[in-house]
Chain A
Amino acid sequence: MKQKSKKIDYSKWGYIFIFPFFASFFIFSLIPLIDTIRYSFYEYYRSGLKEIGPNFIGMANYAELLTSDMLKYAGNTLILWLIGFVPQIVIALLLASWFVDARLKIRGQQFFKVVIYLPNLIMASAFAMLFFTLFSNKGPINSILLSMGLTQNPIDFMGSVLGTRSLIGVMNFLMWFGNTTIMLMAAIMGISPDIFEASEIDGCNSIQRFFRITLPLIRPILAYTLITSIIGGLQMFDVPQILTNGQGSPDRTSTTLIMFLNNHLKSKNYGMAGALSVYLFIVSGILCFIVYRITNDDDPDGSKAAAKKNKKMGRR
C-alpha cells in the first residue's frame, strides 16, 4: 500500500460536520432576514385575496410606525417584563445563595432544583391557557375565593389592567426564576471558597457576606442574566397573546411589541411588519453588543481586556 499523504488531516470532517448548520442557517435564517429588511422599504400587503405591492416607498413604513402607538406597546412590554423580572431576580438570588451555602446544608437540594425548574418545561402557551382557565370568572380560583367568603362577587382578574398585567408577570416569573436560580448558583459556586472562609474568620455576618462578597463577584453573570432577560422580554408574545385572546385587552394595555407585529401579519402586511422587526433588531443588536462587551471584558483572566492590559504592561 502506498501512503497518500504524510500528515493525516481530519480538518475536512470538521467542515463537513458544521456544513448542515451553515446551510440551514443560510436558507432558513439569513435569506428571510435579508428579505424582511428589504420588504420593510416596500408597501406590500394583501387585501382579501388581492396582493398589493410590493411598491418601493422608502422609509414611509418606519415613519408611520413612529407616529403609531408603537412606543406605547414598547412601554407595555417593558412594564410586563419588569413585573416578571424584579421578583424573579430577587427570589433567584435568595435561593441561589441558600442552596450553595455550605453552612445551611439544605436537604433534598437536587429535588428542589428540579422542582423550581419544572415550570420552564411547560410550553408557554399551555401555561397561559392554564392560567386563563384558573382565573376566569367562573374558574376554580374564583370558586375558592367565593366559598372562603373572601369576596362576594367573582373577581374579574382579566378585566382590569392591574389583574391582567400581574397575571402575565406572575407567569413569566414562575417560568423563569428556576432557570435564573441555576445560572446564579453556578456563578456563586465559581467564587473561591477561600474568600468566604477568610471573611468568616474576619467576623463577617451572612448579610455582609452576601452584599460585600457574593454580589460583587457575580456581577458579570448578573449583567448577562439581565440583558438576556431583556432580549427575551422584548420578544414576549405567547403568554399575553393566549391570556388575552390576542386582543391585549383591556384597552390594549397588555399588547406587546410582538403582538403588535402579529396584528400586522393578519393582513400579511410584510412591509410594516418588516419595519417593526428592523426596529426590534436594532434594539436587540445594541443589547447583544453590551452583553458581548460585559462577558468579554470583565473576565479577569485571559479576556481581551486583560490581554490588552498585559500587552501595555509589557511595552512599558
Chain B
Amino acid sequence: MKKKLLSVVLASAMLTGTLAGCGSGGSSSAPADNGGSAEAGGDAAGAEAQTDEGQVINIYSFNDELRNRITAVYSEIENTSDDGTESTLKDGTVIHWIINPNQDGVYQDKLDEAIGAQASASADDKVDIFAAELDYVVKYTDADINVAMPLESLGINPDTDLADQFEFTKTVACDQNGVQRASTWQACPGVLVYRRDIAKEVFGTDDPEEIGKKTKDWTVMKETAEALKAAGYYTFSSYADTFRLYNNSMTDAWVAPGETVIKVDQKILDWVKDSKEWKDAGYFDPAVKGQWNSDWFAAMSSSAKVFAFLFPAWGIDTQMVPNWDGAEGSWAVTNAPLSYNWGGTFVLAAEGTDNPQHVKDIILALTANADNLTMISKEYADFTNAKSVMQAAAEDDSFASDFLGGQNPYVYFTPGADTIKMAPLSAYDQGCVELVQNAFNDYLQEQVEYDKAKENFETAIRERYPEITEIQWPE
C-alpha cells in the first residue's frame, strides 16, 4: 500500500513538473501577459526574460548538407543526436533539423505551410532559419511577401560583414528594392571536368592548360568533339548537361517583375538548336536522357565513353566522386566554354523568429567567417563565398584534390567566379527551367515536331502557373 502511495506522489510530482514547463514556455510566446505569468512561473520565467531567446531553433532544409555545414562551423553546438534530427547548444537551446527532399516540390510545400502558420505558431514551432536553392530563392526574398528578414534587421551589415562575398551571390540574394535578405556560404562557378585517360588517348596530353585551349569556346569545342567522336568517345553525356551554360547567359528574366508574361530567351532556343546539331553529329551519349537518373550516373563510371561533365565544385564532390569506380586521380578540371554558375544554397532568417541572436550568429559563422569558410573548402572541397579565401586557395597547393590527380581545382574555379554574370532571376525560374527541358526533350528525341514542343511547353506552363497570361517566343 505504501508503495502505491509513493508512486502516486511521484507521478503527480512529475506531472506538475511537466505542466510547470508548459507554463513558462507559454509565457515566452505571449509576452503580453508576461506580468501575470512571471509571478506564477517564478524563477523559470525570470531567467528566460534575461536572454529573450526561444528554447528551440527550427531549421528547414532540403538535404543534410546545411546541417553538416552548420554543425561543422557553429562552435556553440555541443552535440547532435545520432539520427541527425536534433542538436543541443551549450546554453541548452535545441536545434531541430527539419529536412524534406526537394523532389517534386515537397520541401517547398512543407516550408510554405510552416511559414504560412508562422504568425500563429507557438515560439517553439516557429521557423527560424530555412534554406533555399538559387532556383527558387527569389520566391522567398520578395519584399511584398516579407517572409525572410532583411539581414540588416538581424544586425548584419551586408556592406561590411559580408564584404568578402562574391558580388553576384549578394545581388541575387536581394529583394526588388535591393535589400539583402539571404546569404550563402558557397558560390558555384562551373568548370569542365574531364577524364584524363581519354584526354591522353585522343589528344596525347592530359594537361589542364592544354585541354583548356581545346574547350575555351563553342567553336573550338566543336572541333574537339569531332576528334573525340573519331576516337569513339562522346564529349558530354547529354544536352541536359550544357543547358545551364545557355540558361545562365540569358539577358532577361523569364518573367519581368510585376508582369505575367513569360519571355523565352533566344539563348534557350540556341540551346535547342545547338543540342539538335550536336546530337545528330553524335557528340552526346544517345543512351543518356536528362540528369539525375541512373543512366546519367552510369555515364560517370569507368566503363562509360563520356569525356567530360560540366559541374561546379559541389557536383564533383557529391555526384562524381560516389559514381566513379576507376582509379583515383582519373579526372581533371579545366575551363568551360562559357563561365557559368550552377546552384547554390542560400540561408534565410524567417520573419518572426524567436531566436534572432542565434540566427545571426549562425549566419555569420557560416557565411562570413573566413576561417570557417577555409575549413569548408579544405574539408568538403566546396567553393566558398569569400573572395580573399578563394584567391588564396587558387595559389595554395594544399587545396589540391586527390580525386583530380593532385590538381588544385581552385585555379579554375576562382577566375570563373570573378567573371560570372548572373542571369536575372524570377520566381518562375524553377518551373520554366524544368518544363522547357521536358518539352524540348521530346523534340530532341524526335518524338514531336519543333512547333509541337513549343506548344507542349505552353500547356505545361499554364498548368503549373495559372496566372501566366502569355508566352512570347523570340522572332
Q: Which residues of A contact B (CB under 8 A)?
A: 45-50, 52, 68-69, 133, 136-139, 153-154, 156, 159-161, 245-247, 249-252, 260, 263-264, 266-267, 269, 272
Contacts and interface: CB of A to CB of B under 8 A. Distances in A.
Contact of B464 (A249, A252, A266): A266
B140 interface: yes
B287 A47 contact: no
Given A48-B142, A153-B286, A250-B445, A267 B298 contact: no
B447 A160 contact: yes
A245 B441 CA distance: 13
A263 B427 contact: no
A69 B459 contact: yes
Given A136-B294, A249-B438, A252-B456, A263 B464 contact: yes
A163 B112 CA distance: 38
Contact of B466 (A49, A137, A138, A272): A272
B145 A49 contact: yes
Interface string B276-294: 0000000000111100011
A28 B318 CA distance: 42
B298 A251 contact: no
Contacts of B104: 246
List the 10 closest pairs (A to B, CB-CB), nearest first: A137-B287, A250-B447, A263-B463, A138-B298, A48-B139, A251-B448, A48-B427, A49-B145, A250-B442, A47-B467
A138 B294 contact: yes
Given A49-B147, A251-B442, 14 more contacts: A45-B467, A48-B145, A49-B139, A49-B142, A50-B145, A136-B294, A153-B286, A154-B287, A156-B289, A161-B447, A249-B438, A263-B464, A264-B466, A266-B105
Contact of B456 (A50, A156, A251, A266): A251
A45 B104 CA distance: 18
B447 A159 contact: yes
B393 interface: no
Interface of B: 104-105, 112, 115-116, 139-140, 142, 144-145, 147, 286-289, 293-295, 298, 427, 438, 441-442, 445, 447-448, 452, 456, 459-460, 463-467
A45 B288 contact: no
Interface of B is mostly: helix
A250 B460 CA distance: 13
Interface of A is mostly: loop
B438 A247 contact: yes
Contacts of B115: 49
A43 to B, nearest CB: 8
B295 A45 contact: no
A250 B287 contact: no
Contacts of B112: 46, 49
7 contacts: A137-B289, A137-B295, A139-B294, A159-B445, A245-B293, A249-B438, A266-B105
Given A266-B464, A272-B466, A49 B105 contact: no
A267 B294 contact: no
Contacts of B286: 153, 156
A51 B474 CA distance: 31
B297 to A, nearest CB: 9
Contact of B447 (A48, A68, A153, A251): A251
Given A136-B295, A138-B295, A251-B442, A49 B140 contact: yes
A131 B36 CA distance: 64
B294 to A, nearest CB: 5
Nearest to A271: B466
Contacts of B298: 138
Given A48-B139, A250-B448, A272-B466, A136 B293 contact: yes
Contacts of B438: 247, 249
Given A69-B459, A249-B441, A251-B448, A267 B293 contact: no
A123 to B, nearest CB: 17
A49 B117 CA distance: 12
A33 B109 CA distance: 22
Contacts of B145: 48-50
A160 B442 CA distance: 10
Nearest to B428: A48
A241 to B, nearest CB: 9
A160 B448 CA distance: 11
Contacts of B441: 249
A106 B464 CA distance: 55
Nearest to A137: B287
Nearest to A69: B459
B417 to A, nearest CB: 29
A159 B427 CA distance: 31
Contacts of A246: 104
Q: Which of A160, A161, A247 has the most CB of B within 10 A?
A: A247
Contacts of A260: 463
A251 B463 contact: no
Given A250-B448, A251-B447, A269-B466, A263 B460 contact: yes
